[in-house]
Amino acid sequence: MAPRVGLAVASVLERLGHTCEFRSAQTCCGQPSFNAGYWDEARAVARHAIGVFAGAEAVVGPSGSCVAMMRVFYPQLLTGTPHEQAALDLAARTFEFGEFLVEKLGVTDVGARFPHRVTYHDGCHGLRELRIKNAPRELLRHVRDLELVECDEPESCCGFGGLFSVKYPMISTAMAEVKGGSLARTECDYIVSSDPSCQLQLDGWLSRSGKKPRTIHLAEVLAGADA
């Protein structure tokens, strides 16, 4: 849905001197089936993903929800199966993009410039499953000419929740309205997010409501995407 995010991730990592590889056999982390309770089906997709990433030094994903699925839930899904150890191995090598830069590479300044007023939306998987709070903000604070403001409820859920967004659409929309409203009240130019699912939900509501800001992925800000 958003190839430019992946390209931005690669651009930033390459600028820092690392080699990026894209394994084209990858498909999906399997979270939709997992969240719906179809764990046998999710397990099949998990096994495929584990196979795809076997032997990679580090797996970096620009999505809190996908990384949470692989790091937190694959081991649970595959516990007691022959793939349990492989799941644990993968979990130890899988990182969310902002987390990878700050915690693994020890980098907070990637030499980016983004002359806009922005606010950060904490995606729930990144925040609560992966415990990511400061890393993206540290990175944004080092972006030249960027003004970072907090909305009044940065940690509130955007309401996507995967299939929840269409199975319980009225609740999902109400949540988008509350979070989108809060984010828009900062009078920012952009809402920075580390999760394309949140972006889909928030942009969907913001655009329908005629509100000004749009989301942008953290990777695009750091790649110096200058609108």
Partner 1 sequence: MTPATSTAAPHGTFEAADPHDAKKKFLHDAAEHVRDEGHRAFVRKALGGYYASRDTQKARYRDWEHARDAASLAKWSAVNRLDELLPKFVANFERNGGRVHWARNAEEARDIVLGLLRAAKAKAVIKSKCMTSEEIHLNAAMEKDGYGVVESDLGEFIQQLRGEPPYHFVFPCMHVRRDEISDLFGKHLGTPPTDSPEELTMIARRHMRRLYVDADVGITGANFLVAETGQISITENEGNARLTAALPRVHIAISGIEKVVEHLDDLAVLLPMLATAGAGQPMTCYNTLYAGPRQPGECDGPAEMHLVLLDNSRTALLADPEQRDALHCIRCGACLNVCPIFKNVGGFTYGTTYQGPIGSVITPHLRGLADWNHLSGASSLCGACTDACPVRIDIHHHLLHNRRNAAKSAPSRLERLGHKVFVMVASRPWLFALGGAVFRKTLWLVKKLRPPLLRDWLATRDLPPAPAASFRSQWRRRS
Residues of the shown chain interacting with partner 1 in the complex, contacts defined by CB under 8 A: 1-4, 6-7, 10, 22, 24-28, 30, 32-39, 41, 44-45, 48, 124, 127-129, 155-157, 159-162, 164-176, 178, 200-201, 203-205, 207-208
CA atoms within 13 A on the CB side of 68: 19
Q: Which two tokens stand for residue 46?
A: 């998990």
Nearer to partner 1 by Cβ, of 6 and 147: the residue is: 6
Is residue 74 within 8 Å of residue 46, measured between CB atoms? yes
Nearer to partner 1 by Cβ, of 3 and 82: the residue is: 3
Nearer to partner 1 by Cβ, of 88 and 162: the residue is: 162
Provide the minimum distance between the beta carbon of 147 and partner 1 in the complex, in angstroms, as a whole number: 26
How many residues in total does the chain contain? 227
- Binning the chain into helix, strand and coil, the percentages to the nearest 5 are 50, 10, 40
Provide the minimum distance between the beta carbon of 202 and partner 1 in the complex, in angstroms, as a whole number: 9
Nearer to partner 1 by Cβ, of 61 and 146: the residue is: 61
Q: How far apart are CA 60 and CA 37, in angstroms?
A: 26
